[in-house]
Amino acid sequence: GENVEQHPSTLSVQEGDSAVIKCTYSDSASNYFPWYKQELGKGPQLIIDIRSNVGEKKDQRIAVTLNKTAKHFSLHITETQPEDSAVYFCAASFGNQFYFGTGTSLTVIP
């Protein structure tokens, strides 16, 4: 089955700096790659997603890039703010199942 690896597991940045989280996947058939943000005491919330026919997608301060050849995709957060502090999960979708990374705990230091 699909295997999704996510790095780093923890990340601390100064407010205003950029944060990058990287994920790799194993199955070239995966064609949908969502990113979720999970705040304390809440369920994961979709923040951005990308499909296999697109190389990059942006939504304000958040962007995701996909390299199908290398089988990796990344989340980029610019101008980080304290409210960006949360756990972020990447996922790869293959068939009728989603495979999640193990999460990155992002801390934005004011």
Partner 1 sequence: KAGVTQTPRYLIKTRGQQVTLSCSPISGHRSVSWYQQTPGQGLQFLFEYFSETQRNKGNFPGRFSGRQFSNSRSEMNVSTLELGDSALYLCASSIGTGGSGANVLTFGAGSRLTVL
What is the nearest approach in angstroms of partner 1 to the Cβ of residue 64? 12
Site string for partner 1, 31-70 (x = CB under 8 A): xx-x-x----xxxxxx--x-x-------------------
Q: Which of the residues 65 through 104 are near partner 1 (CB under 8 A)?
A: 89, 91, 93-103
* Residues contacting partner 1: total by CB under 8 A: 26
Q: Residue 34, Cβ neighbours under 10 Å: how many?
A: 19
Residue with smaller CB distance to partner 1, 2 or 84: 2
Does residue 90 come out as left (phi exceeding 0), alpha (psi in the -120 to 50 range) or beta? beta
**CB-based contacts of 53: which residues, under 8 Å, 6+ apart?**
none
Pick from 47, 41, 45, 4: nearest CA to 25: 4
In the complex, which residues of this chain contact partner 1 (CB under 8 A)?
6, 31-32, 34, 36, 41-46, 49, 51, 89, 91, 93-103
